[in-house]
Chain A
């Protein structure tokens, strides 16, 4: 509630966003960029995984229902990779049922957000969900 995010709080952060919906990608990318993040996007799981390998982002926002590799398969592969496994993965999906939520968390996502996102609070909500991760929290404190 009391959490506030500075306008350049995510400056220098590399973030990967993966979604097969270009509109969604554009909105998320815009909102993250407003806080200074360096946003890399992919439209399917497979290229998303390659991008994560290339970019080594601070965190990943990923859709679930995607072609080639689904969000769940993606998170499993990331968590199985010793180099990438520390990267927080946040699910952003139009699936609103509790079962979907539970399945995503058990697959390895750190948190789950339901579409449609609320532009005014999206980034704040996103970051707040990751405050329990030490390197995210300490990275925020440096600013």
Chain B
């Protein structure tokens, strides 16, 4: 509902209620007041009529008493003198007092004088009237000098005003000689006369069964005890009724009706009408004024403001808000203008920021996507989409579980992310494109997952490299495995003929059938066979060590026994080459050490074997000693030595100082490589100090004495 309609409605209701209330108030207070005034007025009129009648009666009585208290009259009763009558009771007398009939009775109620004045003539009164007066005791009998009476009697359906006074002397002394009775017929003329005096419309009816309805109502009301009964005749006239009591019985014998104009009532009506009219005029004026003010001051301007805001809302530029008036609406417009300006600024900034972000996302070589908690795409952007032939936003509104149902690896990852996991993986998206995807769940304030953000980059090259690396690694492992298998097979295949060679040569050497020369030759076969065997063993060892298949198991080993066993083995060889071999184990070396049973002798074996092999003359010395938690094994020789540039490579497989030395000293140089590997496997080191043609010293340090 518009403001205007609301105002009209509310204002109409308020004014209507107000008018109705005021009309009712006027009706019940003002108009009722007027009616009360009217009633009082008519009561006053009635009282005036009552007073008038009383005055008439009293006047009549007073006049009658003048005549009855008079010596002439006093005398006349006892000795009737016609002159008295002729002098005093002339037609003019009747006219003066408005009299119709005069009776003079003596003390015994005998009629002394009875005359009716009718049409200017003095005649005898009708017999029934005389009879009525004589029978009316209150009229006929006067008991003392002050016994005055006045009232109404009914005669022949007519109302008669009657007074009776005692006939006494002029001094008012008795004894009372009779009664002076004056009657006035209240006929139409009399009513007319009273009407003129009172300036009221009067009417009179004897109470009988022929009364009109309104008179009957009045009679009943008055009988019930009211002193008067008032009833409006119509809008212009109002009537009041009075009772007139009978002289004798004090019962009402006639009703007097007084009719008058309803001036007060009409005045009240006029006032009410004027009041209502004034109210309506005021209400309408107020209504119009309020409406006009509302239109001018509020609604028109609100409409203008609304139109302007609406245009601004539609994006129209340069719309001016009505800010001229310095009132609340002007203030509002001003505030709105400032708000719009601020909003506009913010919107521009936001748009720029959004634009930047959009450009960034759209041009970044990634794929940015968001899913809601049901896996429905809510965002899908990024230049990376080109790689997988997807348009920006293409799947927004669709479920990832429908779109990528052919890619279970991706869907599994999405499910993990929806379960709250943050992680990265590589997923094949097409035959040729792999994506590296970061998954991150989006959580609300309660920590519930509301969706997932994924950032994907093209990882095809990386995947290619990783695939290649894996393939290369697998190939290398396969090659390594093939090498191990080959070496194992080679070892087996070499040992089988070597078994025969060494076996048969052994048998030959056991017999005494060979010449000295042949024996020597056969022995060379044996020695070389054993060298070949040792080489095979070394190759096998090294391949196993290099393949990482050797697990060292520390056990309790009697180190001294092992060292002495090897010392004995190489003593003979040293002696043959004329070398002195000196082995020293210091006392601080424990007899029992936890060390791998195979690895420890192998280290010493190789070091001694090498030292003896590469020394032509001089000595080979070995020290086994303790240094803190370390067991040190030092082997020195006076051999060919190793040039500095070879100090590192000497520990690699199949390396010797030079090819010629291979020829001279035999062997393929696997020993030091094996020692190096074993030392490393035990957490130890091997160091070399050497001077060419002076000798070498190998120092092995094993941290095994903790």
Residues on A lying within 8 angstroms of B by beta carbon are: 21, 23-24, 27-28, 30-31, 34, 65, 94-97, 114-120
Contact = CB atoms under 8 A, between A and B. Distances in A.
B507 A116 contact: no
Nearest to B529: A116
Given A96-B537, A97-B540, A116 B492 contact: no
B507 A95 contact: no
Chain B interface size, as a band, is 20 to 34
Given A96-B537, A96-B540, A97-B540, A27 B495 contact: no
B502 A116 contact: yes
B496 A115 contact: yes
A119 B507 CA distance: 7
Contacts of A21: 496, 499-500
A24 B495 CA distance: 11
Given A96-B491, A96-B492, A116 B537 contact: no
B495 A120 contact: no
B197 interface: no
B30 interface: no
Interface string B491-529: 111011011111111110110000000000000000001
Contact of A116 (B493, B510, B533, B544): B533
A34 B502 CA distance: 17
B504 A94 contact: no
A31 B509 CA distance: 12
Contacts of A120: 506, 510
B502 A117 contact: yes
B383 to A, nearest CB: 57
B499 A23 contact: yes
A133 B356 CA distance: 91
Nearest to B491: A96
B488 A116 contact: no
A31 to B, nearest CB: 8
Interface string B418-448: 0000000000000000000000000000000
A34 B509 CA distance: 14
Given A27-B507, A30-B507, A116-B529, A96 B502 contact: no
Given A27-B507, A96-B537, A97-B540, A117 B499 contact: yes
Nearest to B550: A98
16 contacts: A21-B499, A23-B499, A24-B499, A24-B503, A27-B499, A27-B503, A94-B493, A96-B495, A96-B536, A115-B498, A116-B501, A116-B502, A119-B502, A119-B505, A119-B506, A120-B506
B82 to A, nearest CB: 199
A28 B503 CA distance: 8
Given A21-B500, A116-B503, A119-B506, A94 B492 contact: yes
B540 A94 contact: no
Given A21-B500, A27-B500, A118 B506 contact: yes
Given A21-B496, A119-B509, A120-B510, 11 more contacts: A27-B506, A28-B503, A94-B492, A94-B493, A94-B499, A95-B492, A96-B536, A115-B499, A116-B501, A119-B502, A119-B505
A27 B502 CA distance: 9
The 5 A-B residue pairs with the shortest CB-CB distance in the complex, in nearest-first order: A119-B506, A27-B503, A23-B500, A94-B495, A116-B499
A116 B506 CA distance: 11
Contacts of B544: 97
Contacts of B510: 34, 119-120
Contact of B502 (A30, A97, A118): A118
Contacts of B499: 21, 23-24, 27, 94, 115-117
Contacts of A34: 510
Contacts of B529: 116
A25 to B, nearest CB: 10
Which of B500, B510, B544 has most chain A Cβ within 10 Å? Answer: B500
Given A24-B496, A94-B496, A96-B537, A117 B491 contact: no
A115 B507 contact: no
Which of A27, A28, A116, A119 has most chain B Cβ within 10 Å? Answer: A116
Contacts of B502: 116-119
A117 B188 CA distance: 189
Contacts of A119: 502-503, 505-507, 509-510
A94 B499 CA distance: 8
A27 B509 CA distance: 13
A120 B523 CA distance: 13
A117 B507 CA distance: 12
B426 to A, nearest CB: 38
A72 to B, nearest CB: 15
Interface string B527-562: 001000100110010001000000000000000000
A116 B496 CA distance: 7
Which of B496, B502, B509, B544 has most chain A Cβ within 10 Å? Answer: B496
A19 to B, nearest CB: 10
A24 B499 CA distance: 7
B393 to A, nearest CB: 62
Contacts of A65: 492
Nearest to A64: B492
Contacts of A114: 495
Which of B495, B502, B503 has most chain A Cβ within 10 Å? Answer: B503
A94 B498 CA distance: 10
Nearest to B500: A23
Nearest to B484: A97
A114 B492 CA distance: 10
B532 to A, nearest CB: 9
Contacts of B488: 95, 97
A24 to B, nearest CB: 6
A95 B502 CA distance: 17
A24 B505 CA distance: 12
A24 B500 contact: yes
Nearest to B536: A96
Contacts of A95: 488, 491-492
Contacts of B503: 23-24, 27-28, 31, 116-117, 119
Contacts of A116: 495, 498-503, 529, 533
B547 to A, nearest CB: 12
Nearest to B544: A97
Contacts of A28: 503
Given A96-B540, A116-B529, A23 B504 contact: yes
Nearest to A23: B500
Contacts of B492: 65, 94-96
A23 B529 CA distance: 16
Nearest to A24: B499
Contacts of A97: 488, 491, 540, 544
Contacts of B506: 27, 118-120
A114 to B, nearest CB: 7
Contacts of A115: 495-496, 498-499
A30 B504 CA distance: 10
A27 B503 CA distance: 6
Interface in B269-322: none
A32 B507 CA distance: 12
